[in-house]
Amino acid sequence: MAGPIKLDFSEKYDDQHAQRYLRKHHETLGRRLSHWRDEQLGRKALALAGDPGLVLDLPCGAGRFWPMLAEKPNRVIIGADNSESMINAAMQGQPGDVVKRVQPLHTSAFDIALPDNSVDSIFCMRLLHHIGEAEHRRVILREFERVTRDSLIVSLWVDGNFKAWKRKRAERDRPSHDYQNRFLIPAATIEKEFEQAGFRIQEQLDFIPLYAMWRVYVLRKR
């Protein structure tokens, strides 16, 4: 039997990297504005999903979305990540009143250590753009469909915008290399994969329409 799927990029999240990740979204004005827009899209997506009461934040990273997720007073948050270092950084670095609302969980998106239909919604920001293999995305999406009772909020890079066009041009001119850890996925491709996994698209929210690659999808379980 094959072992659990492990990707090269996930091995970098040691204690030192986790501490840098905790700080990085607040280091410059540009990063602070980007984080503000991410939170804005996250709030809108959660509202569209019916303000779920039990949310799995996977991957939670250093917990940068926990304060926003905790804005709903009675929401229970499961903060899950493949990296124990990231979870520890989140538990130590986020505000205490927020942390006490979070149940930490060390688990992989490829094999989530939760029962079927165990959460109202899965909040998955900034994972799928790291997953270049369609089969790997299929495994993750099937796990999400198994674990969520109702909705999935997920972000990734899609085409159909200026930055995607610019990236494709740059990649054509760049010498080929073996290792890549960020991928642009055509919107038509990922939307078909959502459907195959058992989801329907309720809404799509673009970071900056027609300019930025980031898109947040609000999906409902069929």
Question: What pLDDT was estimated at residue 21?
Answer: 64
pLDDT over 90 (residue 124)? yes
| pLDDT band at residue 173 under the 50/70/90 scheme | confident
- pLDDT, mean of residues 2-27: 63
- Average pLDDT for 205-213: 96
φ/ψ bin of 198: left (φ > 0), alpha (ψ from -120 to 50), beta (otherwise): left
* 217 pLDDT more than 90: yes
Its CATH architecture, for the domain 17-221, is 3-Layer(aba) Sandwich (3.40)
Residues 83-89 have a mean pLDDT of 94
Nearest to 140 by CA among 212, 55, 82: 82
Closest to 47 (Cα-Cα) out of 69, 79, 65: 69
Q: What's the pLDDT at 193? A: 98
In the chain, where the domains are located: 17-221
> What confidence tier does 191 reach under pLDDT thresholds 50, 70, 90?
very high
What's the pLDDT at 15? 65
Convert 176-198 to b/e letters by CB count within 10 Å (16 or more is b).
Answer: eeeeeeeebbebeebbebbeebb
Query: What average pLDDT is seen over the chain?
Result: 91
CA neighbours within 13 Å on the CB side: how many for 43?
Answer: 11
More confident residue, 69 or 172: 69
Q: How far apart (Å, rounded) are the C-alpha atoms in residues 192 and 133?
A: 15
pLDDT of residue 62: 93
Phi-psi region of 51 (alpha: psi -120 to 50; beta: other; left: phi over 0): left
Judged against a pLDDT cut of 90, whether residue 86 lies above it is answered with yes
Residue 13 pLDDT > 60: no
pLDDT tier, 2 (very low <50, low <70, confident <90, very high otherwise): very low
